[in-house]
Amino acid sequence: MSFIELKNIYKKYPGADKNSVSDVSLNIEEKEFIAFVGPSGCGKSTTLRMIAGFEDITAGELYIDGQKMNEVAPKDRGIAMVFQNYALYPHMTVEKNISYGLKNMKVPADEIKKKVDWAIKVLGLEEYRRRKPKNLSGGQRQRVALGRAIVKDTKLFLMDEPLSNLDAKLRVSMRNEISKLHRQIGSTTIYVTHDQIEAMTMADRIVIMKDGIVQQVGKPMDLYKHPANKFVAGFIGSPQMNFYNVTVSGNVVTFEDGSKITLPESITSKLGRQGEFILGIRGEDIKLDAQNIDIFKADKQSAVVENVEVMGNENNLYFTFGGASSVARVSKYEVSEIGDEIEFVLNPMRMHFFDKDTELCCI
Amino acid sequence: MILTKKQRRVEWVFAIIMILLSLLFLFPVVWMIANSFKPDAAITADMNSVRAFIPPAPSGNFFDNYLSIITNTSFLRYMGNTLLYAAALIVLSVIVNGLAGYALAKIDFPFRERWLLIIMMLMIVPTETIITIHFLFIAKMGLLNTVVGYILPMIVNPFNIFLFRQVFISLPDDVWEAAQLDHCSAIKYFFTMVLPMSKTVVATVSVFTFLSVWNDYLWPSLVFTSSDLLTAQIGLNSITANVNTTMGMTLALITMVTIPVIIIYSLFSKQIVEGVVSTGSKEG
């Protein structure tokens, strides 16, 4: 049995027309770092709150460490949680915020002191221990919230968008700190975020949700390379995957604007059928370099650059191709300017074909 | 903020009007305090002059009126009684009305909004209209002329419940969730988290409760018959009704009753304003 098991979990709020969470089944192993990711309203926080016990489970079963938890109070589930808005006790100092739970759990005073000192040291809060939350920055408050969670020796950490209130730079450093902390403590962690970069960089496995339904569960690179459907393909990766409505006939792919490319035999045979598809290709698989253009020269395409995003280490070129707005991610050495005509090829080995009706990935 | 010349002139005019109004309201208070140090003859002599607003020069008999009250009457005891009742009522009022306000703000129970509406409607019912019911109730329970009988009907106050509810509704729910994971019970959460996080409204309710007890006349005059239990206002009335009480003593008595109210208002004016303003705040 896995450490956490969600069996056909449903959540429907009173008066709502449809389920907020539908048929979520998932096994989470001990010490795993799993991220729930998806757009706002996809049910990721609701699922987390059902695991925490703050929301009733409408149907289905939840097991933590082999014990059915549906009716167990949050405090008895052996969990610690970090909240989006930190949820610190505003009238208590950093030290008291961290030790409050331990005191309520009747932990001996000397042990509390040891644990609080350890947490404060690990989180670099030594000079702030007597400050109240209002006198701390966002990052420091988030660390206090983490401290409150780590002192409790729980096997399961729940984190509900803990970095969403921080600025971009601080988010990157806190991301790092949370990953380090997870490795150091080794607790199972369920992390909710709407930021796919956070999920990709931190999690062992990612659960992608949309409209209360799990779209795909897998390792970050598996999701990136083999998305189960168009939604996952579009959600994971930055810039977003390019999508084109195409018709496949024989070996030829025809785009909406009449552009054509030829697919290798290996791809068409995998595709299995002909007709209308959605073709997806990531920005980095649109190649502008001479070597790739030479390899796929029969399918060379051209377009006019409409916008350039200079990222420093690379450039994103925006242009219209195949009847859709497209982006190519190119190296910093491939300098183009707005209005330049560029020649490029689409790497057929990196193409994804989605069924036009179901949007499920065909290859 | 940089003000234009015209804005500055308007500010000045506004300030002058406010100062004049304040003086108008302070006028009788200054007169009362100044004359509370004088013998009756001096009060009468100064009546029609500016000296009526100036206290006499400190001398051996400067505090005679006050000393006479302290030595010849039980007024200090009445003041002590009132302070004791106020303290008990403040504690009970914060607990009972606070818990009710918390339930109305944060706990989902059937007809919650209707209950709130009823409580808000009760706010417009004047105390005088229900005082007979209170009296009969307390009399039937055999609690007349007891401290419990005096305090009991004063604990629940619809305005205080509403005040607490308006503040508690804006408290973040995730703090309660975090507290639950920290093994904090609902009651402990109320006392160790909710009340400390709502210091302003606790201060406001405490001040309002103190003032209502301190200034109350009708209810204690009905409940108390024993002179040992009298409040300051009733004591003031019974002492001034005595033929031996001089005008100076009366003014000293009124000063003694007024000073605590002035002190409380000056110390907590910010909280009182904030507390009342919060009742009109948007629901969170």
Convert the pLDDT of each residue in A213-270 to its tens digit.
Answer: 999 999 999 999 999 999 999 999 989 999 999 999 988 999 999 999 999 888 888 8
C-alpha B214/C-alpha B199 separation (Å) is 22
Residue B284 lies in a domain: no
Q: Do A87 and B196 touch (CB under 8 A)?
A: no
In our burial notation (b when 16+ CB lie closer than 10 A, e otherwise), range A22-42 reads: bebebebeeebbbbbbbeeeb
Residue B260 lies in a domain: yes
Indicate whether B32 and B148 sit together in one domain: no
To the nearest whole Å, the CA of A179 is away from the closest chain B CA by 22
Provide mean pLDDT across the span A203-212. Answer: 96
Residue bearing tokens 């108008």: B24
Helix, coil or strand: residue A34: strand
pLDDT band for position A166 (cuts 50, 70, 90): confident
- Enumerate residue ranges in chain B where pLDDT < 50: 281-284
Give residue B101's Cα distance to chain centre: 20
List alpha helices for B123-182, DSSP H: 127-140, 147-155, 158-168, 173-181
Task: Name the domain boundary from B68, B91, B121.
Answer: B68
Q: Which two tokens stand for residue B8?
A: 């500055």
Q: Do B180 and A80 touch (CB under 8 A)?
A: no
Q: Do B183 and A101 touch (CB under 8 A)?
A: yes
Q: What is the ipTM of this complex?
A: 0.86
Phi, then psi, of A310 in degrees rounded to 5: -90, 115
Residue B137 lies in a domain: yes
Indicate whether B58 and B140 sit together in one domain: no
Between A79 and A1, where is the model more confident? A79
C-alpha A186/C-alpha A199 separation (Å) is 18
To the nearest whole Å, the CA of B90 is away from the closest chain A CA by 22
In our burial notation (b when 16+ CB lie closer than 10 A, e otherwise), range A199-219 reads: bbebbebbbbbbbbbbbbbbe
In our burial notation (b when 16+ CB lie closer than 10 A, e otherwise), range A314-341 reads: ebbbbbebbeeebbbbbeeeeebeeeee
Peptide bond preceding B110 in cis form (omega within 30 of 0): no
Convert the pLDDT of each residue in A267-289 to its tens digit.
Answer: 888 888 889 999 999 999 999 98
Q: Which of B172, B181, B197 sits opposite A74 (nearest CB)?
A: B181
> Residue B47 sits in which domain range?
5-68
Q: Do B177 and A54 touch (CB under 8 A)?
A: yes
Q: Do A89 and B179 touch (CB under 8 A)?
A: yes
Helix, coil or strand: residue B141: coil
In our burial notation (b when 16+ CB lie closer than 10 A, e otherwise), range B80-115 reads: ebbbebbebbbebbbebbbbbbbbbbbeeeeeeeee
Q: Is B41 exposed, middle or buried (0-12, 13-18, 19+ CB in 10 A)?
A: exposed
| Best residue in B181, B187, B195 for a mutation probing chain A (most A CBs within 10 Å) | B181
Convert the pLDDT of each residue in A116-138 to its tens digit.
Answer: 999 999 888 999 999 999 999 98
Task: Name the domain boundary from B20, B45, B68.
Answer: B68
Contact with chain A for residue B181, Cβ under 8 A: yes
What is the bridge-based pairing of β-strands A33-37 and A188-193? parallel
pTM tops 0.95, yes or no:
no
Residue B114 lies in a domain: yes
Query: Among residues A134, A54, A57, A21, which one has the least CA distance to residue B174?
Result: A54
Indicate whether B16 and B149 sit together in one domain: no
User: What angle do the packed helices B158-168 and B199-215 form, to 10 degrees?
Assistant: 170
What domains lie within chain A, and their CATH numbers? 4-235 (3.40.50.300), 242-355 (2.40.50.140)
Indicate whether B108 and B58 sit together in one domain: no
Task: Give me the pLDDT at residue A64, please.
Answer: 95
Asked which of A21-25, A40-44, B127-131 is least confident by mean pLDDT, the reply is: B127-131
In our burial notation (b when 16+ CB lie closer than 10 A, e otherwise), range A251-272 reads: eebbbeeebebebeeebbeebe
Indicate whether B55 and B86 sit together in one domain: no
Number of domains composing chain B: 2
